[in-house]
Structure 1
Amino acid sequence: MKIHPILQIALLAVACLMCACQNGYLKKAPDKSVLVPETYADFTALMDNMTVFNNSPALQEIGSDDYRTGDAGFTALTSELQKNSYIWAADIYEGQPCPDWNMPYQQVFYANIVLDGLAALKPAAAEQESWNTARGSALFHRAFAFYNLAQLFAAAYDPASAGTLPGIPLRLTADVNVKAGRGNLKQVYDQVIHDLTEADQLLPGQVAYKNRPSKTAAEALLARVLLSMGDYTRAATYATAALSRNHNLTDYNGLDTLAANPFPYIPAADNPEVIFYDKLISYGFSSSTRTTVAPDLFSLYAADDLRRPVFFAGSGPNTYFKGRYTGFRLQLFGGLAVDELFLIRAECLARQGKTGDALADLNTLLKSRWRTGTYQDFTVSSKDELLKKVLLERRKELVFRGIRWSDLRRLNKDPAFATTLSRTVAGKSYTLAPGDKRYLFPIPQQELLANDIEQNER
């Protein structure tokens, strides 16, 4: 997309700042005199920069149980960061910068530039909608970045301990001279919910391009956040609100199961099921031909479940994932989509004992995924059976989207759904038990030295 000329200098300055992230993302201040977006078009152009926005962390996907790689594939990896993430090493970075930390904070910095700039403007009546959209978009992007950071660098949310566990630095201004410590986890989630709730009031219901946030996207992200917090009542409320505007599900019977990319290429083409376009940071691990689908994951799909041929290609130990909602093999989808909303609401309703409504959501989704005429509505005899089924379908539907790590963290707190991860490399076995401290990625060393913040235990 085109970027306003006046912003090119600003973007260069920000890029220089992020290069300095090897010494901490706040160590070197940019020259504020060149950061001069002044109009609503400028602010929009700044947030349309998809090299910065519409990117989410991906190391958690490497560390989860979606992927497998053999000894040859592991050896072929040239990145120690990816190798160490795969085996849950104590030292992941080995002195190198971490894109999964730097990229979200770059997004926060850009969003804060917009928010600070808008605070200095007094919009006329004819400009109010533009002001609202710009502010709502910046709040959404900042909230998404904070939430993503919390999934890697802070503990899973528990209301009993959130007020005492360390959070992440909450940068709420573009002024890099303002220090931000880690605070606590409750403050992080309170800020994310605050930003998204305001964004929901400001954003339009529909947007021309799905790389831009909408009211539906704000509500979908709120549903995801609240589910991770165990707030099932509010998560269901926001999922319902988002579904009231977009409940489109793609009938997989209409897809070419033999295609290398079964889904349309976003953002150039439209996938009506996608609410907000976002991709995971590109790592060679996810696109390597030597990286395959975990066999226990592939075995979950029945023969008439079209997700099997739509999501996967190859066979046996050479099965790989192709069902990216980005429509491009080298980019994993990290955004928000309708299928996730149906599963969020189904889980919340199941946990609340609303069996009929939960079953309706689950069956609606699955009918669009199975070969025509083969799916029979799922029925249950107990609340526990229903919840187990919903979580199983969540596992099968939302694969390779960066979501599994967060699900493992929250579900590991329940012995009924706790999972121990394991893998073997060069004859050595590695395990990640429920509640292991290695579910928290370490804060990059450069950040610790530059800003004097607390490290995560590993």
Structure 2
Amino acid sequence: MKRSNIFFLMVMAAALFTGCSKYTDIKTEGALTPGDYINFRYLMNNTDRLERSVDMPDMTSDDIQYKDTGMQQSLSNEYRNAYMWAAQYYDALAPDQDWRVLYAANYSCNLVIRDVMSGNGGTAQLKNEVLAEARVHRAYNYFMLVNMYGKQYNESTQAADLGVPLVLQPDVAEVAVRGTVKEAYDNILKDLQAAIPALPESNTHNIYPSKAAAYAMLAKVYLQIGRYKDAASYADSALTLQHTLLNLPTLSSYPQRTDNPEIILSKIAGSSHAYSARQVLSDELLALYDPKDFRYSYFTQDYTQDGKVYRVYAKENVSGSNRNIGLSVPEMLLIKAECQARAGEAGNAMNTVNTLRAARFSAADYTPLSATSADDALVKVLQERRRELCFSCVRWLDQKRLFTDSRFAKNITRTNLLTGETFTLSPGSNRYLFPIPQYNIQLNPSLVQNPR
């Protein structure tokens, strides 16, 4: 192993770690010997690098809406650009934070995957577990990358459609070129399948991947590519290992991410939670909520700016920390329900959805959902996904995968009230591909830009 690599990562792990007091027992720095197993364990303990994820897909989705000049003006340039699906989100000299966060995390994962098994100390079981954790994190990161910067998976064109650079070695000097969507998904699935045998069924903290997390990630991946039978099977496997739901009406306080039994694998939005004050619910999303739904009263609230009142996403204010956008029990229930609806099992789909809804209403206000047909069940499941999973970077992925279905595909138009320009996001549009950061193209001209 290259000593320079491990010393670099040791320094970075110490510099980047900002974990909360719950993790005072988790070492991330100290007198370490390059090549020792413990180095790799510490790298996988770095919550600031491995738990941190993205937030821009919330800004581009139809769950958010800014209808007046004052609110648009309060956004940073990059958020305003993303809201309008502009040709570039960031200035030429400014790196794309989502891109940087995910690839930085993958550097750590690549180093562990390459070198942990040849390290000194540690049992084979411990080394394999750390290796498996790195594979799950890397699979998650590439799933987000390919769905932000690459085309939606299409069975007939995946081998030609551009995805993202698939960097699988810890070599910062590598000249990265964009791979295909197929290559990205092949590696994601390979990593997850390879990880499962060595992972514990559950882990000591939800920042660490477990078998439940690998199964849940497989369910999410298969849903995105339209393999619903596989998605349902892996969602069931995850739920067998972890299925606890918070009963919102009975909570005295909302738990921190690290203590939340609904979270299967914690991943936090990249922004600070102060940003949530400007996550204004779109009219369409707001209309889906029953005011008696505790998700409405708990996770949204009125926000006043310049004398105007907006309904904003407030889960971060309730929990006091960045929102989780990682894998969860509610998401697995909704994946299972969607797959049941698509299989023609309307009653089963509604039963699965109602398992979730019963924990979101008081007993006096709860009424089970029913469906008249499988198509009706699918519509109601997708509405429930929006209510439950809003502002967790899920809706953007749903918009991408549903664009071929006329029942759910639609044009979305936004006007920049500062300039008067109007932008339209059409089903299957190139605007569903995030622009490759100009900053990165300047550093590496081999990167091909997405069309607009």
AA at the equivalent of 2:50:
F
Q: Which sections of structure 1, spanning at least 5 residues, go unmatched?
A: 1-5, 17-34, 257-261
How far is the alpha carbon of 1:14 from its aligned partner? 8.3
AA at the equivalent of 1:323:
K
Q: How does 1:46-61 map to 2 (within 5 A)?
A: 46-61=43-58
Q: Secondary structure at the match of 2:178?
A: coil
Contact residue 219 and residue 332 of structure 2 kept, 8 A: yes
How far is the alpha carbon of 1:398 from its aligned partner? 0.4
Q: Distance in 2 between matches of 1:197 and 1:90?
A: 37
Q: Distance in 2 between matches of 1:314 and 1:408?
A: 27
AA at the equivalent of 1:455:
Q
My pick for the range that moved more, 427-436 or 207-216, is: 427-436
- Counterpart in the other structure of 2:26: none
Change (3 A) 1:179 1:51: same
- Counterpart in the other structure of 1:90: 87
Q: Distance in 1 between matches of 2:282 and 2:383?
A: 15
Q: Quick check: 1:457 aligned with 2:451?
A: yes
How far is the alpha carbon of 1:115 from its aligned partner? 1.1
How far is the alpha carbon of 1:327 from its aligned partner? 2.0
CA displacement, residues 133-186 of structure 1 (integer Å, 9 cap, x when unaligned): 101011011111111111110011111111110111111111334444212111
AA at the equivalent of 2:144:
N
- Counterpart in the other structure of 1:353: 344
Q: Distance in 1 between matches of 2:382 and 2:172?
A: 42
Contact residue 140 and residue 218 of structure 1 kept, 8 A: yes
AA at the equivalent of 1:234:
D
Q: Which sections of structure 2, spanning at least 5 residues, go unmatched?
A: 16-31
Q: Secondary structure at the match of 1:213?
A: coil
Q: How does 1:52-451 map to 2 (within 5 A)?
A: 52-69=49-66, 70-77=68-75, 79-95=76-92, 96-121=94-119, 127-255=123-251, 263-267=254-258, 270-282=259-271, 286-288=275-277, 290-314=278-302, 317-324=309-316, 327-328=319-320, 331-426=322-417, 427-451=420-444
How far is the alpha carbon of 1:113 from its aligned partner? 0.9
Q: Distance in 1 between matches of 2:112 and 2:331?
A: 30
Q: Secondary structure at the match of 1:342?
A: helix
Q: Secondary structure at the match of 2:184?
A: helix
- Identity percentage of aligned residues: 34
Q: Distance in 2 between matches of 1:167 and 1:63?
A: 19
Contact residue 347 and residue 371 of structure 2 kept, 8 A: no
Change (3 A) 1:122 1:159: farther
How far is the alpha carbon of 1:74 from its aligned partner? 2.0
Count the aligned residue pairs.
Answer: 425
Contact residue 314 and residue 320 of structure 1 kept, 8 A: yes
Contact residue 163 and residue 179 of structure 2 kept, 8 A: yes
Change (3 A) 1:397 1:287: closer
CA RMSD of aligned residues (A): 2.6
Q: Distance in 2 between matches of 1:374 and 1:109?
A: 49
Q: Distance in 1 between matches of 2:124 and 2:434?
A: 41
CA displacement, residues 183-211 of structure 1 (integer Å, 9 cap, x when unaligned): 21111001001101111122111211111
How far is the alpha carbon of 1:7 from its aligned partner? 6.6
Change (3 A) 1:287 1:366: closer
Contact residue 35 and residue 120 of structure 2 kept, 8 A: no
Contact residue 273 and residue 316 of structure 2 kept, 8 A: no
AA at the equivalent of 2:211:
K
Q: Distance in 2 between matches of 1:153 and 1:57?
A: 13
AA at the equivalent of 1:220:
A
Q: Distance in 1 between matches of 2:432 and 2:274?
A: 19
How far is the alpha carbon of 1:421 from its aligned partner? 2.2
Q: Distance in 1 between matches of 2:311 and 2:189?
A: 39
CA displacement, residues 111-150 of structure 1 (integer Å, 9 cap, x when unaligned): 01111112424888xx122012101011011111111111
Q: Distance in 2 between matches of 1:14 and 1:436?
A: 40
Q: Distance in 2 between matches of 1:175 and 1:60?
A: 28
My pick for the range that moved more, 234-243 or 445-454, is: 445-454
Q: Distance in 2 between matches of 1:300 and 1:342?
A: 19
My pick for the range that moved more, 112-121 or 134-143, is: 112-121
Change (3 A) 1:106 1:37: farther
Contact residue 129 and residue 198 of structure 2 kept, 8 A: yes
Q: Distance in 1 between matches of 2:318 and 2:268?
A: 7
Contact residue 263 and residue 326 of structure 1 kept, 8 A: yes
AA at the equivalent of 2:177:
G
Q: Distance in 2 between matches of 1:454 and 1:425?
A: 28
Contact residue 292 and residue 361 of structure 2 kept, 8 A: yes
Q: Distance in 2 between matches of 1:351 and 1:392?
A: 15
Q: Distance in 2 between matches of 1:232 and 1:381?
A: 21
Contact residue 140 and residue 199 of structure 1 kept, 8 A: yes
CA displacement, residues 242-288 of structure 1 (integer Å, 9 cap, x when unaligned): 000111111111135xxxxx521222xx1111111110100688334
CA displacement, residues 382-406 of structure 1 (integer Å, 9 cap, x when unaligned): 1111111111111111011011110
Contact residue 51 and residue 267 of structure 2 kept, 8 A: yes
Q: Secondary structure at the match of 2:414?
A: strand
- Counterpart in the other structure of 1:30: none
CA displacement, residues 24-63 of structure 1 (integer Å, 9 cap, x when unaligned): xxxxxxxxxxx97523322121121122111112111111
CA displacement, residues 312-358 of structure 1 (integer Å, 9 cap, x when unaligned): 111784212112499225x2221111000000011011111123322
- Counterpart in the other structure of 1:10: 9
Contact residue 292 and residue 321 of structure 1 kept, 8 A: yes
Q: Distance in 2 between matches of 1:133 and 1:419?
A: 44
AA at the equivalent of 1:328:
G
My pick for the range that moved more, 139-148 or 88-97, is: 88-97
